């Protein structure tokens, strides 16, 4: 039973990496965003990275050298280390460019911004993130 749960979670991890990469690329393509829109976009990206990637990796403790398919990052499989580093660096660069480094770091560290954001999410959305 645990084997199937781990496999299902690993599949979600790959889709999570890919989805967050798509969101980052989409954010980069947007022109003329207000400061509030930039803040919201980055907070959603950081929140999802925390929930979909960091929390899932912590829960299942996969080896960092485990291969994973993330089509928006690479044609073939890459290691979890590479996928993680590529995405987190993109998030941190976006945060730096938009002067939101502290807020994004607090979200990634499950700080007060994370707790506040999480408390406002509807239950239906939270259930999708499980």
Domain ranges of the chain: 34-128
Note the pTM of the prediction, 2 decimals: 0.90
Give tens-digit pLDDT for 93-105. 999 999 999 999 9
* 105 burial level (CB within 10 Å; 0-12, 13-18, 19+): middle
CA distance 83 to 73: 7
Strands (E), 4-126: 67-69, 77-79
Give tens-digit pLDDT for 69-85. 999 999 999 999 999 99
Residue 62, number of CB atoms within 10 A of its CB: 16
Q: Name every residue whose Cβ is closer than 8 Å to that of residue 46 and which is 6 or more positions away in sequence.
A: 91, 95, 104, 107, 108
């Amino acid at each position: 039973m645990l084997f199937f749960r781990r496999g299902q979670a690993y599949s979600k991890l790959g889709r999570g990496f890919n989805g967050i990469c798509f969101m980052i690329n989409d954010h980069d393509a947007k022109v003329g965003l207000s400061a509030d829109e930039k803040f919201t976009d980055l907070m959603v990206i950081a929140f999802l990275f925390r929930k979909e990637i960091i929390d899932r990796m912590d829960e299942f403790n996969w080896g960092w050298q485990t291969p994973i398919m993330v089509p928006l990052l690479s044609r073939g499989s890459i290691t979890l280390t590479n996928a993680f580093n590529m995405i987190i660096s993109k998030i941190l660069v976006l945060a730096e460019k938009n002067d939101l480094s502290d807020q994004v770091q607090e979200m990634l560290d499950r700080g007060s911004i994370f707790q506040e954001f999480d408390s406002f999410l509807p239950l239906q959305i939270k259930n999708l993130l499980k």
